Structure 1
Amino acid sequence: MSIADRQRALERRPELGRVAQQLEIYENLLLRWQSSINLVGRSTLDEVWTRHFLDSAQLADLAPLDRRWADLGSGAGFPGLVIALFQQTHAAGEMHLIESDKRKAAFLREVSREIGASAHIHNERCEDVLSEIQPEVVVSRAMTDIGRLIAYAQPFVEKGGVGLFPKGRDIVVELTRASIPSNFQIVLKQSRTDPEAAIVQVLRD
């Protein structure tokens, strides 16, 4: 663990301090599992707190925590498991992590258990489980292109939900290629952790 990276994250988002002990457990498990399965980019392992924990936490400002959230292709649990920790003070909040890879789903179960996050882990494909979950907030960090993410979220945004999708520098190009329903509003929120990144907020007009 980089102590300096941890301190930077806590300074930029003091609320992380309330769950710092749980995040330390999370980080240790991530580093242990990373040796056997690829969970995050190796270049980010010294910056887990800023590149992953802090980056995930910013989504908590863009949708109510007391809603039913679904994290598509959750992988290492970002952003879903970090949001689930913030949901601990919101009894009505739910977090569903959808991950088709059995090994990654096993990792998510272990982390969720060890940090005490009340997350539901689904080792299934998104298209097979989303209609059952009926999420009100759909998030995904790195699963696929924005067009497919909007398609996954469409039935739930139509009902008044919201999609939140962190994307990198190519997001404008992705959006020009995407099929976006005419009654949807796309808002680009500047990422607080990466000046070249944005969070795509998908809403119904």
Structure 2
Amino acid sequence: MSSLPRELSALDVSRETMGRLETFIALFQKWAKAINLVAPSTLAEAWRRHVVDSMQIYALHPGPRTWVDLGSGGGFPGIVTGILLAGKGDGWVHLVESSNKKAAFLRTAILETGARASVHAIRIEDAPAEIQRCDAISARALADLDLLMQFGMPWAEQNPSLRFFLHKGRDYQREVDKALGRWRFDLVKHASIVEPDSVVLELSNLSRKLQ
């Protein structure tokens, strides 16, 4: 297994947490042969491309918080965040995934790793009625920024301190410019430690512009 990059050394990942991550990777590789959890071309680099990429989200917003992970799919970053929270013994991740097959995988991953998480096999639009409040929202390779803001707005209205942590590729500025037409928000761009052309966008103070 590849060693953790120095940028994540501040996480102080315990031996127990590393064991949970290894269990998750093995389970992920097994299930990925049967259902499409991620792009097949990335499976050979699952640790770096998916696990470490997910860990940087927690590094940006550590601590025992309540997360909503939208379109959880193969468990990135949601299950990884839940595993890191298990090491702290506090916090929770609500995994929102409408695909029953992927939801079944996520439930199995939680059982086998002890991740602090639960699965909501519902459409994202229906999630705010089931998940009343959260401190942070994550999403990876799901939708453009404008739609992600629309999805997250019900939680932002409930919690003014809510923050979004969104993985985006090289075309992120186009999405930011489009979103500025409809939304007000504070934005911090974090360079990805995994992909040179990618970023993690941290959004806060979200509100709609008057039309």
Give TM-score, length-normalised by structure 1: 0.89
User: For 1:60 and 1:27, how far apart are their aligned partners in 2?
Assistant: 18
Q: For residue 13 of structure 1, what is the aligned residue in structure 2? A: 8
Please give the secondary structure, in 2, of the residue aligned with 1:192: coil
Whether 1:202 and 2:203 are equivalent positions in the alignment is: yes
CA offset at residue 176 of structure 1? 1.6
Flag the 1:177–1:79 CA change in 2: closer, same or farther, 3 A. same
| 1:69–1:136 CA contact under 8 A, matched in 2 | yes
Deviation digits for residues 27-76 of structure 1 (CA, Å, limit 9, x no counterpart)? 11111111111101111111111111111011112224312100000000
User: For 2:24 and 2:5, how far apart are their aligned partners in 1?
Assistant: 16
Q: For residue 100 of structure 2, what is the aligned residue in structure 1? A: 102
Match among 49, 67, 80 for residue 69 of structure 1: 67
Flag the 1:91–1:32 CA change in 2: closer, same or farther, 3 A. closer
Please give the secondary structure, in 2, of the residue aligned with 1:140: strand
Aligned length: 199
User: For 1:135 and 1:152, how far apart are their aligned partners in 2?
Assistant: 13
Across the aligned residues of Structure 1 and Structure 2, the Cα RMSD in angstroms comes to 1.8
Taking every aligned residue pair, what percent have the same amino acid on both sides? 35
User: For 1:180 and 1:163, how far apart are their aligned partners in 2?
Assistant: 17
CA offset at residue 165 of structure 1? 0.3
| 1:55–1:192 CA contact under 8 A, matched in 2 | yes
Q: For residue 81 of structure 1, what is the aligned residue in structure 2? A: 79
Is 126-135 or 108-117 further displaced after alignment? 126-135
| 2:187–2:204 CA contact under 8 A, matched in 1 | yes
Letter in 2 for 1:42: P
Letter in 2 for 1:98: V
Letter in 1 for 2:147: R
CA offset at residue 91 of structure 1? 4.1
Structure 2 unpaired stretches of 5+: 207-211
Q: For residue 181 of structure 1, what is the aligned residue in structure 2? A: 183
Q: For residue 140 of structure 2, what is the aligned residue in structure 1? A: 141
Letter in 1 for 2:170: R
User: For 1:167 and 1:37, how far apart are their aligned partners in 2?
Assistant: 24
CA offset at residue 139 of structure 1? 0.6
